[in-house]
Structure 1
Amino acid sequence: LIREREHGTIEHLLVMPVTPLEIMLAKVWSMGLVVMVAALASLTFVVRGALHVPIQGSVALFMCGAALHLFAATSMGIFLATLARSMPQFGMLMVLVLIPLELLSGGVTPRESMPLLVREIMLAAPTTHFVELGQAILYRGAGFDAVWQPFLALALIGSILFALSLARFRKTIALMA
């Protein structure tokens, strides 16, 4: 979105018969599809094939969780893109957001060793819930009955971020028109 604004191609989107919702959905799912194919290929050919690591749970259930996480993460990216004015500013904003999300999600360091306040704040981050469901499904073979709460949390966080992004995107487009 920022690059389109910087290069002046967002005006092309404005004259097309598409709504801001359709533009955002296209951006979310086009990138999401590429990542989903890469994740599935990695699980199949690298983890199972080359490394011979057994996967305990359902790959299909994990991929559903990955799709929800991608929806939430991409929505967050679009929201941050509506806040930034340029690609360098967006890059710096992403560094400030993504590094803490990764470090405090439970994937790198155990959440149990974090202060309670940090653990509570990180419940608002999609990465925390994705790490929880990914570990439960892939390592312990959990079914949907054990991971429905992270699925619900990802759906809620993603929906809220998508709605906020859509509102800011509409506002940005209205200012350009």
Structure 2
Amino acid sequence: MEHLLVMPVTPFEIMSSKVWAMGIVVLLATAGSLRIVVQGVLGVPVEGSVTLFLVGTALHLFATTSLGIFLGTLARSMPQFGLLMMLILLPLQILSGSTTPRESMPELVQFLMLAAPNTHFVILAQSILYRGAGFTLVWLQFIALILIGATFFAASLVRFRKAIGSMA
């Protein structure tokens, strides 16, 4: 934090660079893997728009990275952050519908998991890649990812500014 305080950048600029620096790398790797491995080597047909899927992936990266930054503002140390990530991200992934069908979960869990970005990403990825869905069918997932990401980004920004203010 001390290094960040002497740099001529705002908390928003720091957080934005954290969100998109790794996000762009993951997005490029996703696009390459989809084209080269899935479609090329394995020969699996993709039913829907790859571009639409990549836009959804970018929104998912924004939401999950914002969640990660928010958790980082809660943790007091890196080991605590690692434990917090395992306690939060593993259940989110397991309950998202990617490993177990959401329909087999209790209705309360299904409802609560609508607050998780992973759930919306699984829905949009399966809809686009397997069923060929267009934007008219997945726009709710796009809106949900934007809202979840913006909420965590804003909460992180508030907490980050408080942390910088208390260090100054």
Which TM-score tier does this pair reach, normalised by the shorter chain? Answer: over 0.9
Partners of 1:12 and 1:122 lie apart in 2 by 37
The answer to whether 1:131 aligns with 2:122 is yes
Among 107, 110, 118, the residue aligned to 1:116:
107
1:148 & 1:102 partners in 2: Cα distance?
A: 22
Q: CA deviation at 1:17?
A: 1.5
2:8 to 11, 17, 42: 17
- What is the aligned partner in structure 1 of residue 161 from structure 2? 170
Partner residue, 1:84: 75
Distance in 2 separating the partners of 1:12 and 1:77: 21
Structure 1: which 5+ residue stretches go unaligned? Answer: 1-9
Question: Displacement of 1:11 after TM fit?
Answer: 1.8
Q: 2:124 & 2:37 partners in 1: Cα distance?
A: 21
Q: Does 1:100 align with 2:91?
A: yes
Report deviation, 1:160.
0.4
Which residue in the other structure is 1:40 paired with?
31
When the two structures are superposed, what TM-score results if normalisation uses the length of structure 2? Answer: 0.98
SS at match of 1:17: coil
Q: Which has the larger displacement, 122-131 or 10-19?
A: 10-19
**2:52 — aligned with what?**
61
Distance across 2 between alignment mates of 1:36 and 1:58:
15
1:119: how far off? 0.4
**1:27 paired residue number:** 18
Give the letter aligned to residue 36 of structure 2: F
Distance 1:132 1:170 in 2: 34
Q: Which letter maps to 2:110?
A: R
Distance 1:12 1:165 in 2: 19
**Counterparts of 1:96 and 1:129 in 2: how far apart (Å)?**
20
Q: 2:62 aligns with which of 67, 71, 84?
A: 71
CA positional deviation for 1:12: 2.2
Q: CA deviation at 1:176?
A: 1.2
Residue deviations 1:100-140 (CA, integer Å, cap 9, x gap): 11110011100000000000100000000000000000000
Across the aligned residues of Structure 1 and Structure 2, the Cα RMSD in angstroms comes to 0.6
- TM-score between both structures, scaled by the size of structure 1: 0.93
Q: What residue number does 1:155 align with?
A: 146
2-structure distance, mates of 1:91, 1:15: 27
Letter aligned with residue 161 of structure 2: R
**Using the alignment, how far apart are the partners of 2:7 and 2:83 within structure 1?**
31
SS at 1:42 equivalent = helix
Corresponding residue for residue 7 of structure 1: none
Deviation of 1:155 after TM superposition, in Å, equals 0.4
Q: Offset of 1:175 from its aligned partner?
A: 1.2
Gapped regions of structure 2 (runs ≥ 5): none
